Structures are given as structure tokens and as C-alpha cells.
Amino acid sequence: MEAENKGIDQKLFEHLNAAYNKSSFYQLLGLRIKSLAPGKAEIVTETAKKHANSQGMVHGGLLMTAADSAMGNAIRTLGIRAVTVDCSISYLAAAEFGKDILAVGEIIKSGKNIFFMEAKVWGDEKLLAVAKATFYKNGVIEV
């Protein structure tokens, strides 16, 4: 399944996808970009046995990584590089194995250096986690 460009510069879109797919951590976890829109990113993965924690459940670290990555890429759709300063995540429900989880990251407010972000992580129609984060701009993306 191809990532979908929902309205950002096509060169930037291709650059962000290539960078994402080259990330060994995202490959390891099976995360990929589903779509990029101005100020918004969707990250998806199919949960599998490799994501199981010591209690046999999908590890929250997967959801948190997907949420963080959705928020970071939402900023990158603006051509801006930023790093996570802090993130607060709440786990509402356990993810099920063998199903897609979808993390949707969006900008609440962008300042000069500080970005206030939020993310929701969905499993089918069920809300699994909500996150709120602060990012700090550390450069621009040269395409």
C-alpha cells in the first residue's frame, strides 16, 4: 500500500517517505506512512506477535512510537525539522493482534520554535491512545 499525498509539495512528500522507509527503527517495528497532509500525518502498522510485551499484549511502546512519529511528520509536512521535547500519552484500550493500528498526528499550535502537537491512535474504530507533545524546531528540510 502506497503512502498518500493529501496536499503537500510532491518533492517534500517523496523526501519524507524515503526518509521514513530508510529509518531502521520504523522498519524494525513495521511502521509506515499512510498519508501526509499539511500539518497532519498518518502512520500505520499491522500488529503482530513481534510487538508482544511480557504479558502477551501489544506493547504500549509501539503505540507511543507511532504517535510520536505521526506528530513529528505532521511538523515535517511544513518543511520543518523538530525533535520531541516531551510527550504525555494515555492508554485507553489494548490493541489487538493482527489488526491495523493508525496513529494520526496533528499540530495544535505552531510557534517560532515550539510546536504543540496531539496524536490519536486508533485500532479499527476504537480509540487506543491519546498523546500530547511539545516539539522543538531544530532546522529546515532541504528537498
Residues near its own copies (CB under 8 A): 16, 19-20, 22-26, 28-29, 49-55, 57, 59-62, 64-65, 68-69, 81, 83-93, 108-109, 113-114, 116, 118, 127, 130, 132, 134, 136
Shortest Å distance, C-beta 57 to its own copies: 8
Shortest Å distance, C-beta 124 to its own copies: 15
Shortest Å distance, C-beta 142 to its own copies: 13
Q: CA distances (Å), 132 to each of 7, 49, 106, 118, 136, in order?
A: 24, 28, 10, 4, 14
Cα 43 → chain centroid: 5
The answer to whether the beta carbons of residues 80 and 140 sit under 8 Å apart is yes
